Amino acid sequence: MNRFFIGFFIAIMAMFLCLKKSKKENVYKPKKQIARVLSSTNSTNKQMAQAMTWDDKKLSKIDHYYNGSISWTEYYTYDKKNRIVKADDYGNNETVEYKYDGKNLKSIEYTKNGQLRETINVTYKGNKISRLEYIEYDYNKSTEANEEKHLSLMPEIVEKSDIISKAGFYYDHETLTIDLEWDGDNIVKTIYNRVLSGEYYNGEIYESGTKTYNTESTYTYDKNTNPIYGFRDGVYILSPDTYTSRIMASYSKNNLTQMTERWSISIVTNNQTLSDSGIDTYNYSYTYDKEFLTGKYPTEVLYTHTNNGTTTMSTTYYEYNN
């Protein structure tokens, strides 16, 4: 996935939570501060994923690990209202900036090597974010296999269809939106729509056409405290293999227990139409250390996803400051 924040954190990674009017937006001041995040999967043992450094009540940086060593680091800058205004990955010359219109988040901009690459425009309905509109710059016949990015805002496209993934689609224009529906302080539905316009290569000839992704996702939650609620870069911390569940991880007040995706993909040219669709379900279960955190904050998250008889499992471990 193009990591945000994406990543998924990532997310995004750097993403978007709409708080109640009584709260300041994009201010991450949890009662319990995460010190370290570790992870394990079907094939790997428990290992370090992230380490957080706090300056009093502000998160100042996150070290991201790969195979036991620091892979990259992101640093955070705040304004006078204690809102995150910038996330920097100096080693990769990447920056994400948060733009505000009064109290509301207006847009998020991703810059790499001094060039604006991606923007997210934010729309509100009342005091809740209702739509995220992504804009990617410098297409130039780009393929969907983007370069490695750490602070990228653009959601990853996960090819779920063998039919469509057999040939390449080269696009020079794109529209991408995610619409959000809320129940209180939790997002209960997202509608993801992405349309690429360009050329489809079927192995022999190029044909002009469009490629469309549609995904409607629904979410359920427990009633306990989400430790990354309000942290836009929280997509990095909970890392399943789908982008929209990473968004929910940092947007919503409670802990995500299940996500159901109903997806469809199509390619339409003058000579043919290819399409596929399906349903995927992702489950999350939590362990709470009642003695340490009075049972309100999770210390472990078990993630499972079964597809075509194969089950993917991973566990995220939270360690908190005293």
- The reply to whether 152 falls in a domain is yes
Element (H, E) at 122: strand 115-125
Q: Which of 169, 196, 304, 285 is nearest to 242 (CA)?
A: 304
- The reply to whether 169 falls in a domain is yes
Convert the pLDDT of each residue in 263-274 to its tens digit. 999 999 998 999
Per-residue confidence (pLDDT) for residue 275, from 0 to 100 = 94
Q: Is pLDDT of 150 > 90?
A: no
CATH of the domain at 144: 2.40.160
- The reply to whether 267 falls in a domain is yes
Task: Summarize the confidence of residues 251-277 as an average pLDDT.
Answer: 91
DSSP, res 90? G
- The reply to whether 76 falls in a domain is yes
Cβ-contact 187, 219 below 8 angstroms: yes
Convert the pLDDT of each residue in 233-242 to its tens digit. 655 555 544 4
Q: Is pLDDT of 302 > 50?
A: yes
- The reply to whether 10 falls in a domain is no
Pairing relationship of beta strands 128-136 and 115-125 according to DSSP bridges? antiparallel
Convert the pLDDT of each residue in 82-125 to its tens digit. 888 999 999 999 999 999 998 888 999 999 999 898 999 999 99
End-to-end CA, the chain: 33
Mean pLDDT of the chain: 80
Per-residue confidence (pLDDT) for residue 53, from 0 to 100 = 95
- The reply to whether 6 falls in a domain is no
147: burial class by Cβ within 10 Å (0-12, 13-18, 19+)? exposed
In this prediction the pTM is: 0.84
Q: Is pLDDT of 198 > 60?
A: yes
Question: Of the given ranges (12-26, 60-74, 217-231), which has the lowest mean pLDDT?
Answer: 12-26
User: Of all residues in the chain, what percent carry a pLDDT higher than 70?
Assistant: 80
Q: Is pLDDT of 190 > 60?
A: yes
- The reply to whether 27 falls in a domain is no
Per-residue confidence (pLDDT) for residue 214, from 0 to 100 = 93
Number of domains in the chain: 1
Q: How many residues does the chain have?
A: 322
- The reply to whether 266 falls in a domain is yes
CA distance 286 to 35: 18
Cβ-contact 249, 227 below 8 angstroms: no
The 10 Å Cβ neighbour count of residue 140 is 6
- Residue 76 β-bridge partners: 87
Helix (H, G, I), strand (E, B) or coil at 137: coil
Q: Which domain holds residue 240?
A: 34-320
